[in-house]
Homo-oligomer: A and B are copies of this chain.
Amino acid sequence: MVWDIHINCMALDAQKTGYSIDEEIPPRVIALSGGIGGAKLVLGLSNIIPDESLLAVANTGDDFEHLGLSISPDIDTLTYTLAGINNQEMGWGRAGETWTFMKALASLGGENWFNLGDGDLAIHIERTRRLAAGESLTSVTRTFAKRLGISVQILPMTDDPVRTIVQTEEGEMAFQHYFVRERCRPVVISFNFEGAESAHVNPEIIKALSDPALKAIVICPSNPFISIDPILSVPGMREALRKSAAPVLAVSPIVGGQSIKGPTAKMMIELGLPSAALSVAEHYKNVIDGFILDRVDEMYSEAVKGMGIAVQVSNTLMNSMEDRVQLAKEVLKFADGLPGKKEF
């Protein structure tokens, strides 16, 4: 496989350029990710390339302050998934979770619309404490990853606060109010990313994107509007993606007109877009060089190619670890086979 050869070359590169095992190896693959769907592909990628050469850029538009705690759902989903301590039965949160806190909170009359598991609380309390002590979100995220034995780099898109606000027919609401408290029920009109205009892209991401040896930038099958757009909204991010030597690929989160998980399809309908993989390609057309469609959506191949975007058709459902690894392999192989970077 072409990519296997590349991995060997990467190892060789590392030797040649004199990186020691303790030094930071510049990432060869960057994945832009929201929560659960994105984390699955990142996990797949981490199974086929050295962990140290993979960088996951996490959406922080979902972050919020609740009960005085700083909560970063997408960072935590990536962290728990890569540490192998994610709750596979629930599909979110930590494995072996208990719920004593929520019951006690309810008895005290506390706000209990957002479920916080007892074990999950540890990451929120310790993050809140560290942030209050002046640490950056990047540093906190790295500390936790290290403690949990994760070698994949997880970086928040920015250390500045960006908060997704959902404009709905019932008015404006903070993301988690829309997503969790209202269970995505209100009809969406648009989104804005409060704070994004003055936020700075994490400088480590800029550095990684500008590395000439970077092989691929993968937009995971996350929600384009609320997981990926917040990342793209940080000034300088789109430009850095455009200038990168590596191709930008997106995996469609819409398969057969449905979202695998979450409200993507519902949102598309409310936004007046056909709920189809084609709409996702259209949404990303100024950002991506390649698009991975599910087999059931092969019919859109020509239309996507017509936008000047290369197409790969794969099985994009990631029910098993085998699926994740297989999709990750096909994504990297696709990146490898793409011609030079597209000009915008």
Is the Cβ of A69 less than 8 Å from the Cβ of B118?
no
Is the Cβ of A119 less than 8 Å from the Cβ of B148?
no
Is the Cβ of B122 less than 8 Å from the Cβ of A108?
yes
A123 cross-chain contacts in B, Cβ below 8 A:
104, 108
Is the Cβ of A120 less than 8 Å from the Cβ of B96?
no
A296 to chain B, nearest CB (A): 40
Q: Which of B105, B110, B143, B147 contacts A107 (CB 8 A)?
A: B147
Compute how far the CA of A140 lies from the CA of B5 in the bound complex, rounded to whole angstroms. Answer: 64
A206 to chain B, nearest CB (A): 28
Interface residues on A, range: 20 to 34
Compute how far the CA of A144 lies from the CA of B107 in the bound complex, rounded to whole angstroms. Answer: 9
Task: Name the residue on B nearest A149 (C-beta).
Answer: B107
A69 cross-chain contacts in B, Cβ below 8 A:
125
| A interface SS class | helix
Is the Cβ of A109 less than 8 Å from the Cβ of B68?
no
Known: A67-B129, A125-B105. A118 touches B100 (CB 8 A): yes
A105 cross-chain contacts in B, Cβ below 8 A:
122, 125-126
A132 cross-chain contacts in B, Cβ below 8 A:
68
Compute how far the CA of A126 lies from the CA of B68 in the bound complex, rounded to whole angstroms. Answer: 8
Closest 6 interchain pairs by CB? Answer: A104-B122, A100-B118, A118-B118, A104-B119, A105-B122, A68-B129
Chain A residues within CB distance 8 Å of chain B: 67-69, 94, 96-98, 100-105, 107-110, 117-123, 125-126, 128-129, 132, 143-144, 147-148
Give me 15 other A-B pairs in contact (C-beta within 8 A), A68-B68, A110-B122, A118-B121 excluded: A68-B129, A100-B100, A100-B119, A101-B122, A102-B122, A104-B118, A104-B120, A104-B123, A105-B125, A105-B126, A108-B126, A108-B144, A109-B143, A110-B125, A125-B125
